[in-house]
Amino acid sequence: MMNRVAAIQMVSTPDVEENIATARRLVADAAVAGATLVVLPEYWPIMGMRDTDKVIHAEQPGAGPIQDFMAQAAAEHGIWLIGGTLPLVSIDAAKVMNTTLVYSPDGNSVGRYDKIHLFGFQQGAESYDEARTIVAGTEVGSFEAPFGRVGLSVCYDLRFPELFRAMGECALIVVPAAFTYVTGLAHWEVLLRARAIENQCYVLASAQGGTHASGRRTYGHSMLIDPWGKVVDVLADGEGIVGGNIDQAFLDQVRGNLPALRHRRM
């Protein structure tokens, strides 16, 4: 049995309404092409001029235009919609939770993951410190789709393989991201392929991919990778869609031929 999945790639702007309109169009296109599960990238609703811009748009869980759109889109197209990340209110008024929400085909919110690992990077004039505006999550996230367990991760989480082991055996792991161009060029594909190979599952990465209004450049290269580590589909930059099938027979074949998950001793 096969289920088609898709990752949306965007070049999000500081305008939430504009980004929702873009996401609405691309999600509809993915659904028309047969996708039953669609993933949006990290920060898809807003890539502001400043890191603090997202705090202004933080929503309460269950209420707000960003969440309303996701629930409506999932129900309208009858798909599983994984909402990349959006800003939700946190215990600190000056910070947000960088949150992935999962919507079922009936439009209900059925899963949540708050990004655990917060990105920090310094190289010359390029500097990032997500801890200044984000409160880290604490709980591993996953949900059950018709084809198996789906593990939830976000961007910088990709560098911490122990998180993916803690998800248990997944058919699919999703990685919404806004990787910088510098780190993406060096590490993005090799890390994604490693997570697919070591967990013997599909990995679907949905990225920001271009130069944003703030001048920040994100790497793009949204892709679907199979359990053998092969890149099934990829989009280098610009907005668009990548996708393919979750082939349960092939997943079982890989795990049967090379039963590494059963060989674990730690």
Q: Which of 95, 130, 155, 170 is an active site residue?
A: 155
Instruction: Report the C-alpha gap between 102 and 88 in whole angstroms.
Output: 14
* Both structure tokens of 214: 């703030």
**Residues 6 or more apart in contact with residue 199 via CB below 8 angstroms:** 164, 165, 169, 170, 173, 261
Reply yes or no on whether 115 is catalytic. yes
Q: Which of 54, 59, 95, 115 is an active site residue?
A: 115
Instruction: Report the C-alpha gap between 46 and 63 in whole angstroms.
Output: 17
Which among 257, 261, 260, 227 is positioned nearest to 244, based on CA atoms?
227
**Residues 6 or more apart in contact with residue 75 via CB below 8 angstroms:** 103, 105, 106, 107
Q: Which residues are catalytic?
A: 42, 115, 155
